[in-house]
Amino acid sequence: MEPAIALNISICAVLVGLTGYAIYTAFGPPAKDLSDPFEDHED
């Protein structure tokens, strides 16, 4: 396998992993600990 292909696959794997983690953090069980700034400061 050429180094460029291995690098591209590695970068894609990291991006997919980060995207998956971000979605899990935003909508999964850790999201219950997040606060909504608009609800905290109702005017």
* In-domain check, residue 17: yes
* In-domain check, residue 42: no
* In-domain check, residue 39: no
Cβ atoms 30, 24 nearer than 8 A? yes
Positive/negative CA dihedral, 19, 40, 38, 32: positive
Q: Write down the pLDDT at residue 43.
A: 60
Q: Model confidence over 1-43: pLDDT tens digits? A: 899 999 999 999 999 999 999 999 889 888 888 777 777 776 6
* In-domain check, residue 43: no
Could you tell me the two tokens for 20? 């998956």
Domain with 23, as residue range(s), is 3-33
36 vs 22: CA distance, rounded Å: 17
* In-domain check, residue 19: yes
Domains of the chain: total:
1
Q: Write down the pLDDT at residue 39.
A: 75
Q: Write down the pLDDT at residue 18.
A: 98
Could you tell me the two tokens for 12? 């894609």
